Amino acid sequence: MTTTVRERDIEVYFTKEVTKLGGKAYKWQSMSNRAVPDRIVLLPFGIKKLVELKAPGKQPTPLQKKVHENMKLMGHAVAVVDTKAMVDYWIERWRKQINNIKERMAI
């Protein structure tokens, strides 16, 4: 029996891992634009991230890609995450970013 990983599984794992970092992963839904990223992540020290969660192997829709590109042009990158390994990758990058700030502040 094969177990299929769904987008919801990635989303639950992602949210738990962000919480472990001391952050919040707020669900983002816009009534005027369905293509906004799924989550706005707020981490310690004012760090903000935008994340699009997908089922493994799935890609953003053309409209989502366009919105992500427009956000990037304004200086707001969108991370597209479709596996638990990618969640781990981003969490580790963000952990390093938080730790670097802590070190500079001598906390």
36 domain residue, yes or no: yes
1 domain residue, yes or no: no
**For the chain, how many structural domains are there in total?**
1
pLDDT in tens, 44-85: 999 999 999 999 999 999 999 999 999 999 999 999 999 999
3-class SS of residue 14? helix
90 domain residue, yes or no: yes
With a pLDDT cut of 70, the percent of the chain lying above it is 97
Tell me what the pLDDT averaged over the chain comes to.
Answer: 94
Beta bridge pairs of residue 79: 51
CATH number of the domain that residue 21 is part of: 3.40.1350.10
Beta bridge pairs of residue 50: 40, 78
- Provide the residue range defining the domain that includes 81: 7-105
Q: Please state whether the predicted TM-score (pTM) of the whole model is above 0.85.
A: yes
Residue 34 binned pLDDT confidence (cut-offs 50, 70, 90): confident
pLDDT of res. 52: 97
Alpha-carbon distance of 61 to 63, in angstroms, equals 5
pLDDT of res. 107: 67
2 domain residue, yes or no: no
